[in-house]
Amino acid sequence: MSLLAQQSMSPFETVFHVFTDATTILMATGVILLLLLLLVALLANPLRRRWHEWQWKRARKSRRRRDHDIPWRN
């Protein structure tokens, strides 16, 4: 590394060396995972509610169909 420090590096090489550093890669991965977790947490509740509403509507339709199949329940 001392040899690299003595040479003048272009901005591209500097950025490349920073991003190949293992700790930087690990931190970036951690940040991305945290953002994904936050996104899932924010989307989970509305999606779960829509899923339950859809299941309830589906159950009502099938119940209605089932009731009409029985002649004395019409």
| Lookup: tokens for 34 | 């945290």
What pLDDT sits at residue 72?
A: 64
Convert the pLDDT of each residue in 36-63 to its tens digit: 999 998 888 888 888 888 888 877 776 6
How many structural domains comprise the chain?
A: 1
Convert the pLDDT of each residue in 12-26 to its tens digit: 777 777 667 778 888
Cα of 22 vs its chain's centroid, Å = 24
What pLDDT sits at residue 29?
A: 92
What pTM was computed for the model? 0.42
Segments forming the whole domain that contains residue 22: 2-73
Could you give the residue ranges of the DSSP H alpha helices within 1-74? 2-6, 11-20, 22-69
The residue ranking higher by pLDDT, 47 or 66, is 47
